Structure 1
Amino acid sequence: MKLIISGGSGYVATELIRQSLSLPQITSLVVLTRRPITAPDHANAGKLKQVLIEDYAKYPENIRKELSGANACIWTVAITPTKARSYDFEKVRHVCQTCALAGLQAVAESNPSRPLRFVYMSGSVAERDQTKQPGLWGADYLLMRVMPRILARSSCWLTDTSQGETETKILEFAEKHPGEVEAQIAKPGLITSYNTVVRSAASILLKGLGAVTSYVQSVSVEEISAAMLSQVVGGFEKDTLSNNELVEIGRKALSA
């Protein structure tokens, strides 16, 4: 199968690439990246094609040609909440929502295998009810992308129950293209690896809130990568995978 991974130099994308190159089911791997990447040591780099892209929202014909015939795409491009504070919100929306939707549409229009499987990596424990409005700084980001279901108070953040438009729009796109596109949302909590902890969109919020992260569910970067790859190769079990489901599926795939 032909797989596309976006955000090639990112933490999770790097592990996705490493595992993809070792999977015999994946015969072609196209990585969309803003800067060149290096194939992992001892990897089957012959099936890796990196495509440099200036803006993940724009897909000229030369890039669309590289996307043609894809069976699946895993989308990892985003701006995390802590970094989002350094940008104008429209820039954050552009990266986290506009680019994801443009990427989905571009792949779907590039003569993919049917159905195209699209995985969007979001954040943990999210609620898709846009009527539940958070009231402090970061509300626009949280509604646009992801909001963890944790009750807390802070001078910077208020988390309650809400969900990003992006997840909803991606699932709606698939609903409007039955038999052509299948979409799935992956919702990790803390993404860990050995002694390193990388906080996903939801878990970074906890730091801003001063919450105790020891109570937050976690998944290793190896597990979430294996889980998402298992889903695009074997088919989606459901349209949304929680942190615990990612752990279970990932561990099963890694032990196979």
Structure 2
Amino acid sequence: MKLIVTGATGFVGSEVIRQALRNARVSSMVAVARKPSKKQDPLEVKRVCQESTIAGLKAMHDAGPANPFRFLYMSGVAAERDQSKTPTFMPEYTKMRGETENQVLAFAARHKDEGFEASVAKPGLITDGSWYKAAVSFALKYTNIVPSVSVEEVAAAMLQQVVDGFEKDPLENADLIRLGKAAMQQQVKS
């Protein structure tokens, strides 16, 4: 399995790379990163999160990748695919992320005959074991506001899904926890 990781210097991207390097089924890897941007202009966020995602997907398609080609888009638990709804939390951003999910899935559906497969990971709060994130995660979990998943679990689940094939779409927070734990147990056995 050849792996392309975009956002490689990010929190989850770094963990995906760390785990992929230990995975004997990953034969090669390309890591793509960009410099962090201090600019949070909504148009720049859309360019990076949506337009660059779709442009990258099209470029990979045009390069004639191996069959099957699996593309896992990492979104978030609040992203809204139904563009007729108006989310209460960051409505423009969550609708934009949901529209990106729609575009990724539509692209894969149009190219299904060429071996393109896609799914979306929708984690909640991603924790790293720090006391601050653990406290926030605990509070959010027990108030049912936002679910949480560890960075190790989400990375293991995402890596397992692109290597073995997608179980479903979307991969919700609970799916990422379940799949991540199972993948990490498998790694220990190997």
- Same fold, judged at TM 0.5 (above): yes
Partner residue of 1:178?
112
Change over 3 Å in CA distance of 1:125–1:141 after alignment to 2: closer
Partner residue of 1:191?
126
Asked whether the 8 Å contact 1:97–1:144 carries over to 2, the reply is yes
Aligned residues: 179
Identical-pair percentage: 48
Partner residue of 1:243?
173
Structure 1 unaligned runs (5+)?
36-77, 146-163, 199-205, 207-211
Distance 2:88 2:182 in 1: 40
Distance 1:134 1:189 in 2: 16
Query: Which of structures 1 and 2 has the bigger CA Rg?
Result: 1
Shift of 1:169: 0.5
Between Structure 1 and Structure 2, the one with more strand by share is: 1
Distance 1:254 1:225 in 2: 10
Residue 189 of structure 2 corresponds to residue 254 of structure 1 = no
**RMSD in angstroms over aligned alpha carbons?**
2.4
Distance 2:72 2:49 in 1: 14
Residue 68 of structure 2 corresponds to residue 141 of structure 1 = no
Task: State the one-letter code of the partner of 2:92.
Answer: D
Report runs of 4+ in structure 1 exceeding 4 Å deviation.
none
Residue 154 of structure 2 corresponds to residue 224 of structure 1 = yes
Distance 2:132 2:86 in 1: 30
Residue 44 of structure 2 corresponds to residue 97 of structure 1 = no
Instruction: Provide the secondary structure at the position in 2 that maps to 1:236.
Output: coil
Shift of 1:194: 1.3
Matches within 5 A, 1:1-256: 1-34=1-34, 87-134=40-87, 138-145=90-97, 164-180=98-114, 181-195=116-130, 213-214=140-141, 215=143, 216-256=146-186
Q: Which has the higher contact order (CA 8 A, sep 6+)?
A: 2
Between Structure 1 and Structure 2, the one with more helix by share is: 2
Distance 2:131 2:140 in 1: 14
- Structure 2 length-normalised TM: 0.86
Partner residue of 1:50?
none
- Structure 1 length-normalised TM: 0.64
